[in-house]
Structure 1
């Protein structure tokens, strides 16, 4: 029996109530496909706006198909060993609460100061982002050339210790529940129903959905605390002021830091630090006082401690206010003094072998964690990004992947790992975050050249091709528009890159979402006093008078002319399908590469970029087989003439060249 379509039920409601709606609802003209000139607020009827968006999505679809299956299930596909459709993907990364936030009543700010619901305007519109608005944004995302929507966590958010006025999406209250604030009150459908409709709509448009999960932490006020307190660490409340990441003597640190490479020795934190931790209480011993969980036991009043950065071990810092680590192993408490019932590198990341034994597994917790992804596979999601997946116990990660792939053999797993290694591939992952965002931000020229050079080596799996993430400075902040343009060209044409547009990149957004990675200390200090979108209600600059959308679409149109050659199963991820060029007379600022089919070397695509964002650079380049040919640059619409296999020219700051080359070989 075919499952009832939530998307069509929403459409029915919108059609039935369209004439009754009298409120004005403003949306950015970009959401309506109006890309000429500056984006501006456009007045609409909200029912009409969403009705038309959904009608356009559903019109060409088959009413007999259940689109709440993954796209691979709908197509009966399995890519590679499962999930390797990532090689043929282009991602758009959304944080729904931020991405579709907008001043819908046009009063100059998002939401209100009304304490009962600061996300909504005075006339009742939810102005922070919602899943209904994400459905309406799908056409915009697809028109940017993206075929996969990658969502930051959308699960329910805890309140204890929350940062900002909305809290971090990484402070997860319950992995099995969605954030109710992502439901749009314009329609009488639950957040789960609206998410089901979102996945369905994406699949109708031929797009996939990836969710991000954080599986080793919980908010301090998580729902699991009162049902399963043994899944958490507890400390003496009277000594809470002593709690911070543990300190180790220098000689121990030397050995501990060798552990990630397979060497060194494990050392436990000091006995004084370990004595902070107490045996978990029973559920009936837990009370709520001032919005916080407190347990009263024979050992006194206990509280759950906050998490801290787990590596390196000498990064001493206070605990975070909103999240804690889950207790993956249950070691017997009578084994004093080194009982492993504490938070440190050897219990939450690089697990001590004595602890990480099958008989110490916190089995009910592992079952709960490994059931999260199958729960959301019921909505039809296509893949997941696992935040710090390499820090989960390896057997647990194997269970997670096995259960998901048992349901869907082509389900994709992406890993938040900065290194592109065979180890991630062997663990079952189909893509990693990679390090482009890091190396290109520190040194534009050397960083960009490193990314090109890395692609000429064997890479075991693809990486996220993006100069920014929600945790890093914006590309506009570091290198301006030239950096954004060059990054997009490279990520579109390199063989191992998954082109990823982080929300707002195309709008030339400068304001960061969070300050987790790659910020200078002075920048971190500054933004610590600002309203960062990861914690506060905020909106992208949808009304910006200048953006990169037209350029992105133009580069996509150039790429699509060669897609038959560059985007087939033999060339994606094939380091033998490119050659790097280092032109002369360019002060090392111009770098280029050719992409080609190794079996047809007479037909290539040449990409050249000037990594100097301030000065024009001359170049002089030799490409054997070009002879005295004339070739067209698709970017600047200009012809270049080769003389005896040599070509010369001048590139403006940040300029790119893309040519189709026909050779005599």
Structure 2
């Protein structure tokens, strides 16, 4: 391990310890022992991190370079490249939030007048990469093998929401967010993230990052150097700027565009005339946090982005991000020159605009280079593409091809509400959005059952098995602890489901990170008045004495027993032939059951039974040929159930899930 960042970080820790001697420092007890009673635990900061890193390094092999992907380290290639996703169990980190903690126990996250993220002792209480390293043993104990970060790149300041700003308001995709550096070991955020990736790889984790390639912060670094990569409007139009409006007749045809049947209609001329030709770099100056250009047309600024679909969702512009200009079309005052932001320039690109000759090649080259930068600098294993399906398809192809020329087993995941065969053809390895959307109100509309039935189909790629993300309500808020447990059990045993923990799920965190999707108007208004963690200093309730950590661990242990070996895992993950829904005799339709098995050895099966009614217990009868007369043990509780003549009667508690390992014949 020559030039090891983790060793360099350890050396830096020891140097700082000699200078500062000691720092009293509270951390969650769960980070030390996931089976402990949650409470604030006092440690000496330097000694804690020193011992932690030495322990991780003790698991390493000096002959291995851990600053490269796991697939490169182990010389692996899965499927089309990146199909290791099928065997993943993912923990989703929003580092600024997930590892935030009140380290001085004064009741606040950050209290310094100099830097809001620091306490009075200069300790960063918002999350850092160093604290992410501290969480690795905890995440490992849950049973996860992949860590997926929300964006960790530098954040702009113009129009920032909250006191920290959104991680999606990206100032420069090539630079890390400096606030993720931990002052305990200095300001070198690059070293600290390199050390994290090395530590993760030593412990067997793959590391995925989320990237946003079609938007920029309103004060992005590229604005001054390349103003032609952005849209510009007259400064006087900013306060009233919003998405364009279309006539009912135009809307009817525009809405068919995604199906290839519609007609591309440009916004009206009044809207188009708001936009001006981009200024030269010399005309641009910074006024506070905002870039302003002095031109012959007057003062110009960059407008905020808005929801790009559907086209009749008229909204004010967002305050902190803008769309990048993917195509460079000749400017004209008299004709439709596509010099505006609308559905046909930022998502469903008009064929006239998206001709190869109009590609904004310098911008595309810059975007294509983002992921390789993180592969070569840090050795990451894969990425989640935020709204990747809204990038021009040729650009997305270039992005994937370039990354896989560096690492053929590099994974690409996407956000998509549907499990789309076109995504697989484009080179994606997994999708996020299907399960949580369908289960959004599962305890009311039976959405969980819909997901289970869908998982029995032959699907083109796996989906993230999760009932919540940073954009949705928390699972526990929708149906309580029962709902959280049931969703986890089901997510772990569906054939094309990748078990996915959005950090906080396991400790029954109730506060949403953002009010993006599946919130009622009342919920959006309620949480909008509070400091949402996507924008403000916040932390999880790591000291909550009620959690489902042991349940998560137990279910994943059973899942590993089902797969038995890597060979068996390769055979069963994503295999719809290893799954069947079981008929149940019951009053109503609240209980669903399914089996998982090796298609070539169907005498050994795992039976999962779930009651989606969270108010009433259910009495059911299941008949399984080959069970005969025998007692079987439920694997979570060890409770025994009796089969007689292939039939078993079960009283299943409200919202409960049962799992059995069965031997037939």
TM-score of the pair, normalised by structure 1: 0.98
What's 2:458 paired with? 458
Divergent runs of 4+, >6 A: none
Alignment of 1:94-109 (within 5 A): 94-109=93-108
What's 1:392 paired with? 391
Distance across 1 between alignment mates of 2:516 and 2:71:
34
Between Structure 1 and Structure 2, how many residues are aligned? 661
What's 2:54 paired with? 55
Alignment of 1:172-571 (within 5 A): 172-188=170-186, 190-334=188-332, 336-378=334-376, 379-444=378-443, 446-564=446-564, 568-571=569-572
Structure 1 window deviating more from structure 2 (402-411 vs 40-49): it is 40-49
Report the Cα offset of residue 189 of structure 1: 5.0
Whether contact under 8 Å (2:30, 2:36) holds in the other structure is no
What's 1:594 paired with? 595
Distance across 2 between alignment mates of 1:633 and 1:22:
50
Report the Cα offset of residue 77 of structure 1: 0.2
Distance across 1 between alignment mates of 2:433 and 2:644:
40
Report the Cα offset of residue 394 of structure 1: 0.2
Report the Cα offset of residue 311 of structure 1: 0.3
Whether contact under 8 Å (2:59, 2:203) holds in the other structure is no
Alignment of 1:100-119 (within 5 A): 100-114=99-113, 116-119=114-117
Distance across 2 between alignment mates of 1:565 and 1:635:
22
Distance across 1 between alignment mates of 2:213 and 2:47:
39
Structure 1 window deviating more from structure 2 (43-52 vs 394-403): it is 43-52
What's 2:655 paired with? 654
Distance across 1 between alignment mates of 2:49 and 2:565:
38
What's 2:633 paired with? 632
Report the Cα offset of residue 649 of structure 1: 1.0
Whether contact under 8 Å (1:259, 1:350) holds in the other structure is yes
Distance across 1 between alignment mates of 2:574 and 2:8:
42
Report the Cα offset of residue 14 of structure 1: 2.4
Structure 1 window deviating more from structure 2 (619-628 vs 262-271): it is 619-628
Distance across 2 between alignment mates of 1:582 and 1:54:
52
Whether contact under 8 Å (2:112, 2:120) holds in the other structure is no
Report the Cα offset of residue 240 of structure 1: 2.4
What's 2:85 paired with? 86
Distance across 2 between alignment mates of 1:525 and 1:174:
32
Distance across 1 between alignment mates of 2:587 and 2:205:
41
Report the Cα offset of residue 290 of structure 1: 3.1
Whether contact under 8 Å (1:565, 1:596) holds in the other structure is no
Distance across 1 between alignment mates of 2:80 and 2:439:
32
Report the Cα offset of residue 260 of structure 1: 1.0
Distance across 2 between alignment mates of 1:3 and 1:302:
51
Distance across 1 between alignment mates of 2:26 and 2:116:
18
Report the Cα offset of residue 553 of structure 1: 1.0
Whether contact under 8 Å (1:565, 1:597) holds in the other structure is no
Report the Cα offset of residue 434 of structure 1: 3.0
TM-score of the pair, normalised by structure 2: 0.98
Distance across 2 between alignment mates of 1:499 and 1:602:
26
Whether contact under 8 Å (2:66, 2:198) holds in the other structure is yes
Report the Cα offset of residue 164 of structure 1: 0.1
Structure 1 window deviating more from structure 2 (241-250 vs 196-205): it is 241-250
Tell me the alpha carbon deviations over residues 60-108 of structure 1, each in whole angstroms, 9 at most, x when there is no partner: 2111211001000000000001000000000000100001000111111
Distance across 2 between alignment mates of 1:244 and 1:113:
38
Distance across 2 between alignment mates of 1:478 and 1:327:
40
Q: Over aligned residues, Cα RMSD in angstroms?
A: 1.3
Change (3 A) 1:44 1:433: same
Distance across 2 between alignment mates of 1:355 and 1:15:
57
Report the Cα offset of residue 441 of structure 1: 2.0
What's 1:124 paired with? 122
Report the Cα offset of residue 340 of structure 1: 0.5
SS at match of 2:184: coil
Distance across 2 between alignment mates of 1:546 and 1:526:
25
Tell me the alpha carbon deviations over residues 26-53 of structure 1, each in whole angstroms, 9 at most, x when there is no partner: 111111115333x111111100111111
Whether contact under 8 Å (2:29, 2:36) holds in the other structure is no
Distance across 2 between alignment mates of 1:565 and 1:626:
25
Report the Cα offset of residue 416 of structure 1: 0.8
Distance across 2 between alignment mates of 1:555 and 1:66:
33
Task: Kindly indicate whether residue 583 of structure 2 is the aligned counterpart of residue 585 of structure 1.
Answer: no
Report the Cα offset of residue 3 of structure 1: 4.3
Change (3 A) 1:365 1:178: same
Change (3 A) 1:358 1:53: same
Unaligned runs of 5+ in 2: none
Report the Cα offset of residue 236 of structure 1: 1.0
Distance across 2 between alignment mates of 1:16 and 1:64:
26
SS at match of 1:149: strand
Structure 1 window deviating more from structure 2 (203-212 vs 282-291): it is 282-291
SS at match of 1:568: helix
What's 2:140 paired with? 142
Task: Kindly indicate whether residue 32 of structure 2 is the aligned counterpart of residue 32 of structure 1.
Answer: yes
Structure 1 window deviating more from structure 2 (132-141 vs 633-642): it is 633-642
SS at match of 2:581: strand
Whether contact under 8 Å (1:582, 1:590) holds in the other structure is no
SS at match of 2:491: helix
Distance across 1 between alignment mates of 2:332 and 2:315:
30
Distance across 1 between alignment mates of 2:582 and 2:565:
20
